[in-house]
Structure 1
Amino acid sequence: MKKVKRNTAVLFIRDRLPYLVTGIVIIVFGAALMIIDKARLRKGINDTDTTMYFIIVALFFICVWLVVDYIRQRIYYQQVSMAIECSGELQAAAIVQSTVTQEQRLAVRLLEQQQTTYLNELRNFRRQQEIHNHFVLQWVHHMKTPVSVMDLLMQEALQQMPYTEQEQHQFVSNMKDEAERMTKGLEMLLYSARIDKFEFDLHIKRIAIHDLIRDVIIAHKRLCIRHSITPQIDGEAWVETDIKWMTFVLNQLVSNAIKYSKGISGSKRLTFQMKQTANEVKLSVIDEGIGIPSHDLPRVFDPFFTGENGRAAEESTGMGLYLAQQVCHRLGHRLNVRSEEGSGTTFTVSFETKSIQRLD
């Protein structure tokens, strides 16, 4: 702080050196005239010519300095005026370049930094808008599939009535599957829209994460039974988080685990493992699915990235893991992944006790 104050004082004095020099010259000249006038008074000479001469010379020096200072700063003022006239343009601040004083240089530097910050924010906003628009288009495309399937099922039902009990059960099951796909798609679109105003939809409290996991498992019970996936909760832990946003994250991790495990025959396990230390709680979601190819791992959290597995499944939007990581980041948690192709995948959420509520 002392260094900043000292630098500020130096800049202030440096900018006013020409004024100080002009003032000193006038003072010295005036003192010299007074000495001369005093010597003349001793000789009995008394007139006002010396005073008038001092006033005229002082005004002359002031006028000369004003002209010189105007010539020095004329281009700067012209550029500032042009920048004000072009204030509606993004690059208006770049017009001001011909600075003379340190004060002007600091002002221009501040404008440049503010412009850089503004342009970065604008680029981030545009990127978020592009991601959102692309996601909406992709979501509409994906929603066509369940709507088309439901329409086809309804047409078949009308043509083949009456149904046997088994056919009715199959029909209802298929309709439920497509309805669930639509519900999950709507949920993801809703959370994608909400994440931009994350801080307005946040309620941090201490929760039992193992109880939340049970609720998520119950929500996916039907799919787990159908695809022979056995959930297992290993341990208990309490963390500080937002229950609604954390439910969204866990839903994405469980949905992915089911999606990429159902193609494997036989019984599979889906393990939720909790480990607690003095500084953090780690929740690992471990599946026995097909795994992720090593070359896809660095990009699994990128928006719209589906990878080889997602393209093969034809059900992936590439937004689930991206949104899950964004939510974890804003909550102050960390979401990591490790996987071996053919041996399953492990997603780990780290709840650090000193990094909650990072609302950036």
Structure 2
Amino acid sequence: MNRFRRILDYIYAYKYWLLMLVCTNLLFIFFAWLAYPETFQVLVGLMVIFTITVSVLSIFITFHKEKAMEDAFHEFLLEPTEINEERLCKVSPRMTWPYIWEMGKVFRSYEKQLNDRTLELADYENYIEGWVHEVKKPLSLMTLVLDNRRDEMSPLVRKRMVHVRDTMHRDVERILYFARLKAVHKDYLFESINLLAFCKKTVTDYQSILEESNFQVEFHGQDVEVVSDRKGLAFIVGQIIDNSVKHVTQSQEQPVLRFETVRENDAILLIVSDNGPGVSREDLPFIFDKGFTGKRGSLTKEATGMGLYLVHKMADDLAIELNVKSEIGKGFTLVLKFPKVK
């Protein structure tokens, strides 16, 4: 069917030449009728047979030539080397050679630029990952000092130091996960997780940050099982906590962070909500965009627009569906819908 369609395309492409051939045949048929009326039918039959044979043979040759040119063109697009360029020129009309040469130069120039940028990006990612691992050393040393020198500092100073350490550790982890999200190979390990207990454990890791903002954390619902990657899910929950902490306002009497598990039509939902300033309706469609802070971000200097962007990227990797509900002055709610796994 495709071959027949291509033949029709060739006929349409060369329709003017075919029309000229038909007109020429009609003219010669008229001359044959005038000059040789006794052998007119034989001459017309031979002329028709010759015309059909030449037309079919021309279409057949053109079809195979176009097929060879198409194959050479695809190879040239995939790898625009000078060898493939020469092969394409051999099967193409001579009048198109200058265009092929110019196209090859442009493709090779873009390919070189792309390879250079790819190498630069790989070097940058390697540098960032190396820097992250180097930064973890002083953070570990800070943890060691805070644990072993507890008696040598006041509780308030130690509390502030722990808060600073956890904030730095949180920022370092965000950079590391940002680099991992762009990696080709990802070491996700999917397993059964008790969702509510997992959220409680993650909250304890952010305890110093929550205490600094005087957050009250609530847990509701039953402890249900989901299948996901522990590290990835911990990163998502941690970024949601961090997002709520960043947008605490002085007008809030008691900041509250609420975790709730719900079963809905055989699906499992994790609903995380706060009573913060909320998000305006016009900003909601863009909150997962990279670098977007909106009106809510103008309330704090700490907003970068990266937290929810990374949450969305990680949720895509873990097949978790995200839904947002919010209004100005009525808090922010993020619903995580986990995939159903048999």
TM-score (norm 2): 0.59
In structure 1, list runs of 5 or more residues that go unmatched: 1-6, 16-61, 100-118, 151-164
Equivalent residue, structure 2, for 1:314 = 301
Q: Secondary structure at the match of 1:313?
A: coil
Distance, in Å, in 2 between the alignment partners of 1:64 and 1:11 is 17
From 269, 278, 286, the equivalent of 2:273 is: 286
Distance 1:256 1:297 in 2: 15
Partner SS, residue 312 of structure 1: coil
Equivalent residue number for residue 232 of structure 1? 218
CA 1:267–1:309: 2 relative to 1, 3 Å? same
Q: Alignment length, in residue pairs?
A: 253
Range with bigger deviation, 323-332 or 209-218:
323-332
Deviation at 1:310, TM superposition (A): 2.1
Distance across 1 between alignment mates of 2:217 and 2:292: 27
User: Does the 8 Å CA contact 1:229/1:267 hold for their aligned counterparts?
Assistant: yes
Provide the secondary structure at the position in 2 that maps to 1:295.
Answer: coil
Distance, in Å, in 1 between the alignment partners of 2:183 and 2:293 is 26
The amino acid across from 1:238 in the alignment is E
Task: Give the alignment's Cα RMSD to 1 decimal.
Answer: 4.7
Q: Which has the larger radius of gyration?
A: 1
The separation in 2 between residues aligned to 1:340 and 1:211, in whole angstroms, is 29
Paired residue for 1:176, among 162, 166, 188?
162
8 Å contact 1:275–1:283 — kept in the other structure? yes
Contact 2:7–2:63 (CA under 8 A) maintained in structure 1:
no
Partner of 1:215: 201
Query: What is the aligned counterpart of 1:352 among 331, 339, 342?
Result: 339
Structure 2: segments with no counterpart, 5+ residues: 10-52, 93-110, 143-151
Q: CA deviation at 1:238?
A: 1.4
SS of 2:276's equivalent in the other structure is: coil
Q: Distance in 2 between matches of 1:304 and 1:323?
A: 10
For 1:191, the equivalent position in structure 2 comes to: 177
Q: Give 1:52-201 correspondences, 5 Å limit.
A: 88-89=79-80, 169-197=155-183, 200-201=186-187
- In structure 1, the partner of 2:19 is none
CA distance in 1, matches of 2:230, 2:248: 26
* 1:205-248 C-alpha deviation (Å, 9 max, x unpaired): 11110111111121122232332221111012211111111111
Equivalent residue, structure 1, for 2:287: 300
- Residue 315 of structure 2 aligns with which residue? 328
Judge conservation of contact 1:261–1:287 (CA < 8 Å) in 2: no
The 2-side partners of 1:201 and 1:186 are apart by 19
Kindly provide the CA deviation profile for residues 309-334 of structure 1, in whole angstroms up to 9, marking residues without a partner as x: 22431112211111111221222211
**SS at structure 2 position matched to 1:293:** coil
Deviation, 1:84, is 5.8
CA distance, structure 2, for counterparts of residue 9 and residue 70 of structure 1? 14
Q: Following TM superposition, by how much is the alpha carbon of 1:349 offset from its aligned partner in structure 2, in angstroms?
A: 0.4
Does the aligned pair in 2 maintain the 1:264–1:290 contact within 8 Å? no
**SS of 1:201's equivalent?**
coil
| In 2, Cα distance between equivalents of 1:225 and 1:256 | 15
